[in-house]
Amino acid sequence: MSLEKIAIAADHAGYDLKCTLKQRLVEQGFDIVDLGTDNTKPVDYPDFAGILAQAVSGGRTARGVLLCGSGIGMSIAANRFAGVRAALVHDEEAARQARQHNDANVLVMGARKIKPSVAEDCLDVFLTTPFE
Catalytic positions, written as ranges:
68, 101
Half-sphere exposure of 112 (CA within 13 A, CB side): 9
Are 45 and 68 in contact by the 8 Å Cβ rule? The answer is yes
Q: Which residues are paired to 65 by β-bridges?
A: 8, 107
**CA-to-CA dists, residue 13 to 43, 110, 125, angstroms:** 9, 9, 23
